[in-house]
């Protein structure tokens, strides 16, 4: 961890800005110290999961006006379909709002010049991923995509029939699961979701990402089904509706 007293003395005359940190990050600079200061200034603990989510936010690119997003974290491309419905064999139902991972070592992904598509490049062949307004994998990507069939399901609550779908991002320093709805909320709300709505309450979390309609019933992680609220309000809401399954 950073020695904050020394670090403050170095940046005392500078104005801290997340936009500046983002610019430095995209230029290939190490911004860990800047983010240490950010987390410290917001009263939350610097954790690797929070740090990785900030990196995802810094690297994100909007496609089709925010209908899709492309980001990257170390060895993984992260493709986010904010509202798309993708079939799950596990539940024999469609899931709404999904995250997909592809290995950087296997394929190159770029946003088209008009910002309305994602171009996959592999072995000298190019392929558009958005066809007719829908995210479609296949062709040169056959067998390379980790998506709805590869989710890990986690929950902090007992007796939950359907846990929250999560993706496992493998990074240089951390291998762990991040909930799909956290990534989707991050694409919309930005870094403050990371600072306040992830981790444990002892680490400084004071907000929760709530599903307006139970995820267990809807399998819906789209932004229209998510709401950011204080943890106190969230707890009170679920205590009121004790019969509700899931988040």
Provide the whole-model pTM. Answer: 0.86
Predicted confidence at residue 64, as pLDDT, reads: 97
Predicted confidence at residue 244, as pLDDT, reads: 47
38-49 per-position pLDDT tens digit: 888 888 888 888
Average confidence (pLDDT) over 143-159: 81
Tokens of 15: 């104005």
Predicted confidence at residue 140, as pLDDT, reads: 93
Tokens of 101: 């991972």
Predicted confidence at residue 246, as pLDDT, reads: 46
Predicted confidence at residue 100, as pLDDT, reads: 97
pLDDT band at 175 (very low <50, low <70, confident <90, very high): low
Cα diameter, the chain:
58
Average confidence (pLDDT) over 103-124: 96
For 168, list phi and psi in degrees, rounded to 5: -100, 105
Q: List CB contacts of 206: < 8 A, sequence separation 6 or more.
A: 196, 230, 231
For residues 208 and 217, the answer to whether their CB atoms sit within 8 Å is no
Domain ranges for the chain: 1-42, 43-240
- Give the three-class secondary structure for 109: strand
pLDDT tops 90 at residue 206 = no
31-80 per-position pLDDT tens digit: 988 888 888 888 888 888 888 899 999 999 999 999 999 999 988 999 99
pLDDT band at 186 (very low <50, low <70, confident <90, very high): very high
For residues 180 and 155, the answer to whether their CB atoms sit within 8 Å is no
């Amino acid at each position: 961890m950073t020695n904050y007293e020394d670090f403050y003395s170095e940046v005392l005359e500078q104005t801290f800005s997340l936009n500046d940190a983002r610019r430095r990050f995209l230029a290939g600079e190490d911004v860990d110290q800047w983010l240490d200061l950010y987390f410290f200034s917001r009263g939350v603990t610097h954790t690797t999961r929070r740090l990785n989510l900030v990196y995802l936010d810094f690297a994100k690119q909007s496609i089709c006006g925010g209908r899709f997003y492309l980001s990257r974290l170390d060895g993984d491309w992260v493709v986010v379909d904010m509202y798309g419905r993708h079939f799950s064999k596990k539940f024999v139902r469609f899931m709404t709002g999904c995250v997909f991972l592809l290995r950087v070592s296997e394929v190159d992904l770029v946003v088209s010049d008009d910002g309305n598509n994602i171009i996959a490049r592999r072995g000298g062949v190019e392929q558009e991923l958005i066809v007719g307004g829908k995210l479609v994998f296949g062709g040169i990507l056959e067998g390379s995509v980790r998506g709805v069939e590869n989710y890990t399901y986690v929950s902090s609550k007992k007796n939950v029939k359907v846990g929250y779908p999560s993706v496992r991002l493998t990074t240089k320093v951390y291998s762990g699961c991040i909930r799909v709805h956290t990534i989707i909320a991050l694409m919309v709300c930005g870094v403050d979701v990371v600072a306040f709505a992830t981790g444990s309450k002892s680490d400084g979390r004071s907000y929760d990402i709530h599903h307006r309609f139970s995820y267990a019933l809807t399998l819906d992680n789209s932004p229209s089904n998510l709401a950011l609220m204080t943890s106190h309000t969230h707890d009170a809401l679920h205590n009121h509706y004790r019969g509700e399954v899931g988040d």
